[in-house]
Amino acid sequence: MTNTKTALPQATANPELAAGVAQLLTPVVQDLIALSVNGKQAHWHVRGANFIGIHELLDQVVDNAREAYDTAAERIVALGLPVDGRLGSVASETRTPALSEGFQNTTTVITEMVAQIDATLATVNRAITELDDVDLVSQDVAIAIAQQLEKDRWFLFAHIAA
C-alpha cells in the first residue's frame, strides 16, 4: 500500500513528461481562457438579427471553453507542475485576435468569434501533433478539446454561411 502523504508527485517521477505536457498544454489553457473572456464580451455586446440565438450560443461557447481550460490545466497540475492562467499572462501570451470594441452586429460578432476559435484550434492542433511523442493521455485531452471547438465553430458559422 502506498502512503499518499509521502508519494512523489508525477512531475518528480517523470519530470520530462510533465515539462513536455506543460509546454504544450499551457498555450491551450491560455487561448481557451482568452476565448472564454472574449466570448463573454461578445455575448454582452451582440446586436441585430437573431440576437437571442447568438447571445445564448455564445454562453455555451464560453461554458465549453471554461470546461476545456479547466480540464487541460488540471492535466498539467496532475502531473505535478503549475499552470499560468493569470490574466496578465493570458493577455501577453494568447494567440487569439482582438475583438472590436462596444456593440457589434451579429455578423461581426460571429466572424470575430470564429476567428477566435480558429486561433485556439491552431494552438490545440499543434499540441495534438506534438503530444503524440510526449503523452497520449494528454493528447486525448487535446483531441477532446478540438472536437468541442470544431462543433462550436460549426454552430456559430452556420448563422452566416451562405
User: The CATH number of 13-157 is which of 3.90.1310.10, 3.30.1490.20, 1.10.40.30, 1.20.1260.10?
Assistant: 1.20.1260.10
Query: Torsions phi, psi of 46, nearest 5?
Result: -75, 140
Q: All 3 cell numbers of residue 51? A: 440576437
Residues in a beta bridge with 46: 104
pLDDT of residue 162: 76
Give the C-alpha separation, 61 to 119, whole Å: 15
Confidence of residue 49 (pLDDT cuts 50, 70, 90): confident
> Between these two residues, 5 and 13, which has the higher pLDDT value?
13
Give the C-alpha separation, 27 to 58, whole Å: 22
Give the C-alpha separation, 35 to 72, whole Å: 14
Percent above pLDDT 70 for the chain = 93
Contact 128, 121 (CB under 8 A): no
Question: Per-residue pLDDT tens for 108-156?
Answer: 999 999 999 999 999 999 999 999 999 999 999 999 999 999 999 999 9
